[in-house]
Every structure is written in C-alpha cells, then in structure tokens.
Amino acid sequence: QQNLSLLSPQQIELAKMLVEMGQSHVFEKWTEPGVDDDEKRAFFDQMARLNASYPGGLMSYIQTARQLLADSKAGKNPFDGFTPSVPSGEVLTFGDDNFVQFENIGVREARNAAFVLVAGGLGERLGYNGIKVALPAESTSGTCFLQHYIESILALQDVSGEHQGEIPLVIMTSDDTHSHTVELLESNGYFGMKSTQVKLLKQEKVACLDDNDARFSVDPHNKYRIQTKPHGHGDVHSLLYSSGLLKEWHEAGLRWVLFFQDTNGLLFKAIPAALGVSASKQYHVNSLAVPRKAKEAIGGIAKLTHADGRTMVINVEYNQLDPLLRATGYPDGDVNCETGYSPFPGNINQLIFELGPYIEELTKTGGSIKEFVNPKYKDSSKSAFKSSTRLECMMQDYPKTLPPSARVGFTVLDTWLAYAPVKNNPEDAAKVPKGNPYHSATSGEMAIYRANSLILRKAGVKVEDPVNQVFNGQEVEVWPLITWKPKWALTFADIKRKVSGSCSISQKSAMVIKGRNIFLEDLSLDGALVIDAVEETEVKVGGSVQNKGWMIENVDYKDVSAPEEVRIRGFRINRVEHLEKTYSEPGKFTLKG
C-alpha cells in the first residue's frame, strides 16, 4: 500500500522478494504513503547493500539461515558421522637445522607472497575503545601492531637488499574499524609502505534474525532499519575474490597468500619458517599452530574421518571440540595428554594458501564459506531466542569445501615464538585458570621480551633469568626488555650474523635496536641501551654498558588517570637512565661501553 512510484524497479523487486520470503513484518509499522519517505528510501538502500554483499543475495541468506536454525533446534551435530583423530603435520623446533632450513626457504619465498590482515573485529573481549591494530605491541618503542606488521612485510620485501617488487598488503575492515584504520595509516604515512601497496576491503554486516523462521530483526531504535551484526572473518575470501586482487596477484606471478589476525606481536617470527614448510611440502593450505592446553579458547586442528571414508584436516572451534570428542568415544572430552597439552594442536588462525589452487576453488564457490549459527535460546523448547542471532563464518573453514586431493597441512611452532594475542580484558585475564595463557595486553607484551631473550640466548648471548611479577592480577615472567625492528633481524640466521663474541644481558636491562646494520660484539649490558643508525651505516656495539636503566612500574587497570593503552597492560616504563645513540652519517662506527 506504499507509494510505489517512489521506488526503482530493483527496489520493487526487493520488496516483493522480502514479502515472498516471509519478511512482510518489516513493513508492518511503516507510516502511510508520503510520510518518512527519506527513511523508507534509506531502508531500501540498506536492503540493497545487504543483498549485494552476500553471495547469492538475501534470498539465499534467509534459506541458509532457516536450514541452519532448524539443524540447531534439532540439536544436529555439525560433525555428524565424523570421528576426530590427531592429524600429522610439521612440528618445528626453533633454531634447529630443520627450522633454519625452512626459514631460509621461506624468507626467499616471501617476495612471492601477499599478506591479508583481518581486522574487522571490534574486539569485544578486550573492551579497548580504539581499534586493536592501533594498540602498542610493546612499550619500549611504542610501536603499534599495524606498524609492526607493515615494517615486518617491508623487511621481508628487502631481504638481502634485492628490491624484487612490492609485497601487497590487504586489510579487511568493517564499519566498526574502517575509518580509524584509514586514519591510522594516513596520519602515519602508511608506516613507510607506499599507500598504493595497501588495499582496504570493508566487510559488510549481515541481517539479524529474530526467530527460527529467520525473520529479520527490526532495529528497536528505527523501524526503517534492520539490525545487523558482523558475519565473521570468513568474509575475507569472498571479498578477496570479488575485488579482483587474486587474479591480479596471480598474473603478477605471486604464489602465496598469508592471512593473519590483528594482535599477535610474535607472528612474524614464525612466518618465514612456516612459509618454508608450505613451499617445501607444497601445501595448498597450511595452518600455523601451537601446542594447545585442553579447553583453551583457541580451536583445535583435527583430522575428521567420515563413516563414508571422507577425511579432512580442519579446525574444530574450542566450544565444539569437547562435545565432539565426548560423542565419539572419548568420555573425558578435551583433556591434556601426558605432554601436559591437548593432543590436538591449537589453531592460531594464521593461514598460508597457495594462490593457484585458492583461485581455482574460489572460482567455483565465489568465496562463500560454510556458515554456522549460534542462537541463545530462551528455554529448552528452543522456539525463541534471548536476543537476535545471525549467520557467521570463519576464514579457517575454507578447507571444508576442498576435494580430498587438496594438500592441507599444518605447522606447529613453539608458543613462545609464534603466538601471544591480545584478546582479553584485565579482569577476565586474571580469571584464566592457572597454567593457561592470559592472552591479555600484559601477557602479549611480556611474550615479546621473552621471545627476544630466548632467541638471543639460542644465539649464544647470556641472558639472565626472568623474575615473576604481577600486573593487573596476572603473574608473568619479566625478561629483559629487548626489542628490535624487523629490518634488524627476521630469521635466526640474521640474529647469528649480528651477534658475536661473548655477550651478556642482565634481567633489569632494556635494549632497543632500531637500525639495520648494528652488530653486537662482546657486549655486556646492565642498564638501558637504545641504538639507531641510517641504512648505510654499520655500528659495532661492545664493551660494558651500565646505567640505572628503565624500571617497570605497576599501573592498576582501574586507574583512569593513566591512558587506556597503559592501564590495560598494568604497567608503564619509567626511563630512569639510558645510553641512546643515533648514527645518522654513513660510515662504520664502534660504540664501546
């Protein structure tokens, strides 16, 4: 009964489709024709966007939702007929010959790679008010995650000084993160990357559903809008496909696409070796993994074998692994084995795909990924929801549609080397069961110092043992505060080239290395040292550097006088005394403490 002349033929089609698909309630409270016309037009704009951004359009969204909601109501197990077992993959140990060999291959392969950062998530668990990629990964240099990622990619691009073209970076954003991400990049000159090298792809949200018939939820604040929520990181595949970038990369001769998440300050220490594994084993899909504590909130990688003989190696989300195990002959569910870890490696959701087979698959699927729905029911009749729900999808579910011939593998790396995300707020982190990782801003930062200390130890530096300290209710190891720019060292071989003689670093020390050609030789550090040099300059740092150094001071997360970035990690660095040297002239220099 609305004034149809207001609508374009496409909008009339959309309206008809909505009515036919059982959505006439969305028009129920509309005013008479001629009133609120702008709002009504805006409603159709929203519908057109939702229709265009979902593979197959809204009709397909509603049909899939009905099916998945019916399965959920019936308690259908998404893994029905499948039995899990522990898959075999490549297990690496940092610094051994195997690891070094893979790093060597991987670091050379990186120039054939494109990187894709999924950063559309709001990070509700962390509760930080800004975007997560803008958070400092560590406080010695204040480098934020996005800067660290970009500098790591640039360092990979420059390996051995051969400028072999640019490594593309795609960032998937959402309405929640897009404008802040653009602002962060633009106000920092893209952190040294060319602006044309970075592409942003914004994911759209999907319609929320009120009931098992998949009726759209009308926004309680505006009767001319449908409520929407994020669809999950799985959107990255259809967005990449429809952007045309995959084809462009393929034509440019690229071979790998690496997907990674927003807040893992260790990731790039694992990338070269994992990429080396992909190249050597010719994996179409390679998931990076770490040993996983049973019930830890990361997915487990499992081999699933169907009664009909089909098998796949796939991530099983943490909330599904325990019930699946219980239903298939493991009455204790997800428990640690004699190693103290779950036998299923933990998915850290850093994925390496071979581009050719990836394009081939997406040409068939358009990039749509198997979805799931997770309604919170009011009662056991499962006929009504506590709040609206929506379909979701995960990027690691990509292998679910692959044929059995696809080479799907994984690479397990030491947790201390590869994985320290910042996901949990201080209060929740403090409640994490003892022995399980906090995944907080506190633990994320301390993990960087620990990894750098352990890497230097492995290269022969005597790094003193850490002390235990409590920040925001979380007990962590405090190692010397050691950081370096990715261009200083990407691989263990780089570290070994840059460190020689007899070096030692005391626990209360801090060391920040910013320049590329800085060599530590017979250095004994007991204090704080910050050193930078321009590209053409070589600096040998040695002797005994001793000063009062930097102190770590506790900050309570409830102390609103401190900036949020500081509060959530529970400490700040008080720079009492340090030796800071910047070499801005070309040449060879020696710094003797």
What does the binding site for ligand UGB look like in residue numbers (CB under 6 A)?
A: 118-121, 172, 174, 230-233, 261-262, 298-299, 315, 317, 347-349, 394, 421, 423
Is there a contact between 255 and 113 (Cβ–Cβ < 8 Å)? yes
The smaller minimum CB distance to ligand UGB, of residues 172 and 246, is found at 172
What is the distance between the terminal CA atoms of the chain, rounded to a whole angstrom? 85
Gap between the Cα atoms of 348 and 267, Å rounded: 9
What residue number has its CB nearest to ligand UGB?
121
Long-range contacts at 33-41 (CB < 8 A, ≥ 24 apart): 33/1, 33/2, 33/3, 34/3, 36/224, 37/3, 37/6, 39/222, 39/224, 40/2, 40/6, 40/224, 41/6
The smaller minimum CB distance to ligand UGB, of residues 112 and 349, is found at 349
Q: Which string of b and e fits 382-409 if b means at least 16 CB within 10 Å? A: eeebeebbbbbbbbbbbbeebeeebebb
Gap between the Cα atoms of 79 and 76, Å rounded: 9
Gap between the Cα atoms of 173 and 235, Å rounded: 10
Least separation in angstroms between residue 79's CB and ligand UGB is: 15
Least separation in angstroms between residue 394's CB and ligand UGB is: 5
Gap between the Cα atoms of 539 and 369, Å rounded: 51
Least separation in angstroms between residue 262's CB and ligand UGB is: 3
The smaller minimum CB distance to ligand UGB, of residues 372 and 583, is found at 372
The residue among 571, 552, 551 whose CA lies nearest residue 472 is 571
The smaller minimum CB distance to ligand UGB, of residues 152 and 315, is found at 315
**DSSP tag of 400:** G
Structure tokens at 13: 């089609």
Least separation in angstroms between residue 44's CB and ligand UGB is: 25
Helices (H) and strands (E) in the chain, counts: 16, 29
Least separation in angstroms between residue 230's CB and ligand UGB is: 3
Least separation in angstroms between residue 58's CB and ligand UGB is: 19
Least separation in angstroms between residue 458's CB and ligand UGB is: 25
The smaller minimum CB distance to ligand UGB, of residues 172 and 463, is found at 172
Phi and psi at 388, nearest 5°, equal -65, 155
The smaller minimum CB distance to ligand UGB, of residues 392 and 532, is found at 392
**DSSP tag of 506:** -
The smaller minimum CB distance to ligand UGB, of residues 510 and 568, is found at 568
Q: Which string of b and e fits 215-232 if b means at least 16 CB within 10 Å? A: bbbbeeeebbbbbbbbbb
Gap between the Cα atoms of 105 and 280, Å rounded: 8
Structure tokens at 322: 């325990």
Gap between the Cα atoms of 212 and 274, Å rounded: 43
Least separation in angstroms between residue 511's CB and ligand UGB is: 29
The smaller minimum CB distance to ligand UGB, of residues 109 and 317, is found at 317
Gap between the Cα atoms of 73 and 319, Å rounded: 17
Least separation in angstroms between residue 443's CB and ligand UGB is: 13
The smaller minimum CB distance to ligand UGB, of residues 387 and 502, is found at 387
Least separation in angstroms between residue 302's CB and ligand UGB is: 12
The smaller minimum CB distance to ligand UGB, of residues 235 and 526, is found at 235
Gap between the Cα atoms of 115 and 258, Å rounded: 5
The smaller minimum CB distance to ligand UGB, of residues 417 and 518, is found at 417
The residue among 46, 40, 41, 47 whose CA lies nearest residue 14 is 47
Least separation in angstroms between residue 86's CB and ligand UGB is: 17
Least separation in angstroms between residue 266's CB and ligand UGB is: 12
The smaller minimum CB distance to ligand UGB, of residues 394 and 533, is found at 394
Structure tokens at 16: 């008809």
The residue among 348, 406, 352, 398 whose CA lies nearest residue 371 is 398
